Amino acid sequence: MKKGKIVAGVLAPHPPHLVYGENPEQNEPKSDGGWEALRWAYERCRRSVLSEAPDVLLVHSPHWQTIVGHHVLGLERFQGLSVDPIFPHLFRYHYDLRVDVELSQMIAEEGAHQGLTMKVMKNPNFRIDYGSITSLHLMNPAWNIPVVCISSNNSPYYFSNEVGQEQMIRLGQATKRAIERSGKRCVLLASNSLSHRHFTSEPDLPEDMSHEHIYHHGQYLWDMKVLELMREGRCQELLDILPEFIDMSAAEVKAGSLAWMLSALDVPTYPAEIHGYGTVIGTGNAVVEWKTQPGGAL
Ligand SMILES: [Fe+2]
């Protein structure tokens, strides 16, 4: 069988506001729009990624948190209503997703070989988190490509940034090996914002863009530093400074999604494409694509 490959990795942030701004039929609340810079960035990235005709989209989400080990979805179909616990007035999304169970299983096997605690999750009533749904929806609103959802283990929170990132790097290597075995063309989505300090009050109209701005200049400078490293293909340096970035800007990369993806991509030394940067309630968000070189990163 032909060896599988990762055709692209994407930093794919998941503020529910972006889905709210798009007004898809699956989402109950309706808006006047808003956060266009980021939504258009997703559009550009989507065109690029889907032109590769991937077989599977894989997402690692900070909002599927597991205390023991790393979990993957293990049933072919999940349907239900996903509600953001912080923004239930923005995100009440009716989802219907198809899972590539074979690839999920392979990731669990390869993770176990790496010494990680893995679980294939087979509860038919499990509710999919809004982080996974938002990144997947914005990357492929047609939902016509099977997905794999991977949980974020809480080790960065219970132990340290360093221990957590080290676990995610092993999970990334396991994911890469599983993809190679699968023979499939895959896209990885790291469902993370960057700096994550945010406003604590909301305008009467959430999509009133006259209220949207960068939270703090220091946070902005950290985001720009991180994006510069991505643009220049200096991803090992990026991994090296992640613990400090996390501490200085409450960065959501703490949950490990970015480290997982960079590891699976063999820590890119080629430039990433920044499709766009913008804030959502003051948090820093960028849509960034690593398109693997001809022949792929694998
Ligand atoms: Fe989040």
pLDDT in tens, 200-218: 999 999 999 999 999 999 9
Distance 181 CA to ligand 1 centre (A): 31
Q: State the residue range of the domain holding 80.
A: 5-291
Position 294 scores a pLDDT of 58
Distance 3 CA to ligand 1 centre (A): 34
Distance 122 CA to ligand 1 centre (A): 24
CB 290 within 8 A of CB 10: yes
Indicate whether 149 belongs to any domain: yes
Amino acid at 147: V
Indicate whether 24 belongs to any domain: yes
Q: CATH number, domain at 32?
A: 3.40.830.10
Amino acid at 254: K
**Taking residues 212-240, what's their average pLDDT?**
97
Indicate whether 148 belongs to any domain: yes
**Taking residues 162-177, what's their average pLDDT?**
94
* E-assigned strand segments in the chain: 5-11, 56-66, 70-73, 77-83, 92-98, 118-121, 147-153, 185-190, 273-280, 283-291
Indicate whether 297 belongs to any domain: no
108: pLDDT confidence band, cut at 50, 70 and 90? very high
158: pLDDT confidence band, cut at 50, 70 and 90? confident
Indicate whether 235 belongs to any domain: yes
Indicate whether 298 belongs to any domain: no
* E-assigned strand segments in 84-183: 92-98, 118-121, 147-153
From CA 130, how far away is CA 148, in angstroms rounded? 15
From CA 261, how far away is CA 269, in angstroms rounded? 14
From CA 218, how far away is CA 228, in angstroms rounded? 15
Distance 183 CA to ligand 1 centre (A): 32
- Average pLDDT of the chain? 95
Distance 19 CA to ligand 1 centre (A): 13
Position 293 scores a pLDDT of 65
The answer for 149, left when phi > 0, alpha when psi is -120 to 50, beta otherwise, is: beta
pLDDT surpasses 50 at 49: yes
Distance 234 CA to ligand 1 centre (A): 25
**Taking residues 111-117, what's their average pLDDT?**
96
85: pLDDT confidence band, cut at 50, 70 and 90? very high
Indicate whether 296 belongs to any domain: no
pLDDT surpasses 60 at 121: yes
How many domains does the chain contain in total? Answer: 1
Tokens for 255? Answer: 């949950």
Query: In the block, which residue shows the tokens 């400090």?
Result: 244
**Taking residues 104-120, what's their average pLDDT?**
97
Q: How far apart are the first and last CA of the chain?
A: 15
**Taking residues 100-129, what's their average pLDDT?**
97
Distance 32 CA to ligand 1 centre (A): 23
161: pLDDT confidence band, cut at 50, 70 and 90? confident
Distance 131 CA to ligand 1 centre (A): 6
Q: Which residues sit opposite 287 in a β-bridge?
A: 276
